[in-house]
Structure 1
Amino acid sequence: MKKRHIVVIGLGGVGGYFGFKISQHNELDNQNKISFIARGETFKRIKENGLILLSAEHSNSVTNPDALYETISDIENPDLILIGVKEYDLERICNQLAKVITKKTVLLPMMNGADIYDRIRKILPHAIILPSCVYVASHIKEKGIVEHHGKAGHLIFGKDPENPSENINWILHVLKSSMINFDFKENAQLDIWTKFIFIASFGLVTAKHNSSLGAVCSIDSQKEEATKIMREIQAIAHQKRIDLPNDIIQKTFEKALTFPPKTPTSLQLDVHSGKENNELELFAGAILKYGQETQIDTSFTEKIYRKIKAAPQNRL
């Protein structure tokens, strides 16, 4: 069997969790070459101590990849690249990848957002890209150490609509052998947009009010705002022939109620801590862009977007 070169870019909560599993399994069977890309202090810590995953799923919490690089330009002949960076770094990473990928390299973004596939495709028009979304409760505890709680992470991805006949069975084998919980589908767009309607609506409303999932579900004015955003997303999805269920809004609120009421969102935390980079463009920016493309009225999302942009902490 050919030894494949698998590269993990971004070793945060998501990339660190899934990358750890692939690397640690490969240490046992040595079927592939696993490379990590890390920068600065994270690079130093992993070089000295390996990547550490604190999780009930693993008694051995350390893995050492076959190779560790600081720059993407050092990668040679990658077969699979797992992208786990923050969304605001995506274009920069893709521009660097353009110089190292081959026509057979498969890109698997471990990112949540309705427009991730399109943004990668715009920069890498001939690449093989697997549309995806991810569920995992993990975070960076400190540089080089990822902590995971709760259910096993879950990766959902589908065929590349531009390259539907591409054989990716070997990737499914790698994920299964690495004990990664995943679903592979002919078309993953329904799952991607189901996740997006939840994270975008609740992210935007909690960021505007500095509130929580429970507040959006229980305070009538916030619930109405989230509902209006969901309706705009639902209309865009319909125009794009993504058939979200008729009761998607009700189901989205029901999902939110499964979390502890005081649960924050990452956008809310980033906005109100004054963090320069955040997910505002990933959520509102994507809705406005797709609204313009599909001629759907997204004026309410735009109103929320401008309100968040104008907040004092965003003008620092």
Structure 2
Amino acid sequence: MNKKHIVVVGLGGVGGYFGFKINQANEISRKYTVSFVARGETYEKVKDNGLTLLSPEHANPQTHPDTIVQNIREIENPDLVLICVKEYDLENVCKQLLPVINENTVLLPMMNGADIYDRIRKIIPEHTVLPTCIYVASHIKERGTVEHKGKAGKMIVGRDPEHFSTSVEWITDLLSESKIDFDFKDNSLTDIWTKFIFIASFGLVTAKYNSSIGAVCTDEQQRNEAAEIMKEIKLIAAKKGIDLQEDIISATFEKASTFPFETPTSLQLDVNSGKKDNELELFAGAVLKYGAELGIETPFTQKIYTGIKAK
């Protein structure tokens, strides 16, 4: 029987953490074939030295994949592709995947955003895509080395609404064998939108004011703007048939209040350091697009989007 071929595209904070766990477990079991796709210096470092994960979870910080390539086109017959790139690379990666995936390839997008599933579907309409929500505190320490702090990373994975009956038991087995903390649900969209309402509202307001999560919770103006963005997202979710808890707005502020006051957001750091590739479209762009499609007005998101664009 042929081994299943697992491909991890992108070895940043997310791909490096989860890809490491899958590959290190597989170095012992040899149950799967694992390939990494990485570019430039990351490719060179991992090819020569393996992937390094600095984490309290792993005594041995090194793992060597079966194969590492620089280009997606070099991948052959993948059974599962973990898409771990920045969301602004998503369309580009999906277009490169089209010629290399086969009819049974399952796609697992490892990025947080409300529109990720729909964006993949536009380019790859026929395949199984498992909507996923990711929680992990990890980052690139240097090329080929990922550092993980805090709690164990977690994935919430759902069935594909368009391919509900696709057999994915072997994928949940893979995650279990890799000692990855995950929940598998028939519907993960509520989890995805619950996370999105938090990361989008706090990301946008902190980016506008160059402030912190604590400031958004305590400054009246910032708190009000975040709440109005949350209301717009809640209306969109309801129109899309996604059930969010009734008190989602107060629950989101409650969750945010548990973070250290000065905690930044990645969008705030990127916008205020002048980085042009950032999550503005992932957060505000998605809200504006869905609002226009569904006939829901989104004036607060539009205003903050325009203001950040002008920075």
Answer whether TM exceeds 0.5 for this pair. yes
Give the 5 Å matches for 1:172-251. 172-251=172-251
1:87-123 C-alpha deviation (Å, 9 max, x unpaired): 0000000000011011100000010000000000000
1:287 counterpart = 2:291: no
Corresponding residue pairs, total:
311
Give the 5 Å matches for 1:1-316. 2-311=2-311
Per-residue deviation, 1:2: 4.0
Per-residue deviation, 1:175: 0.4
After the TM superposition, which parts of structure 1 deviate over 6 Å for at least 4 consecutive aligned residues?
Answer: none
1:165-218 C-alpha deviation (Å, 9 max, x unpaired): 100100000000000000000000000000000000000000000000000000
Q: Name the amino acid aligned to 1:309.
A: K
Distance 1:103 1:293 in 2: 30
1:134-189 C-alpha deviation (Å, 9 max, x unpaired): 00000000000000000000000100111111001000000000000000000000
Distance 2:69 2:153 in 1: 25
Distance 1:34 1:130 in 2: 19
Q: Name the amino acid aligned to 1:304.
A: I
Identity of aligned residues (%): 65
Q: Name the amino acid aligned to 1:60.
A: N
Per-residue deviation, 1:300: 1.1
1:36-90 C-alpha deviation (Å, 9 max, x unpaired): 0000000000011100000000000000000000000000000000011000000
Where 1:244 maps in the other structure, the secondary structure is: coil
Q: Name the amino acid aligned to 1:115.
A: D
Distance 1:276 1:300 in 2: 22
Where 2:187 maps in the other structure, the secondary structure is: coil
Could you state the TM-score of these two structures normalised by the residue count of structure 1? 0.98
Where 1:81 maps in the other structure, the secondary structure is: strand
Distance 2:103 2:114 in 1: 25
Distance 1:308 1:212 in 2: 16
Q: Name the amino acid aligned to 1:186.
A: D
Per-residue deviation, 1:243: 1.1
Distance 1:198 1:264 in 2: 13
Ranges in structure 1 where 5+ consecutive residues have no aligned partner: 312-316
Distance 2:2 2:182 in 1: 23
Residue in 2 that maps onto 1:314: none
Distance 2:2 2:41 in 1: 34
Could you state the TM-score of these two structures normalised by the residue count of structure 2? 0.99
Where 2:73 maps in the other structure, the secondary structure is: helix
Distance 1:291 1:136 in 2: 29
Distance 1:85 1:258 in 2: 28
Worse-matched range after superposition: 141-150 or 291-300: 291-300
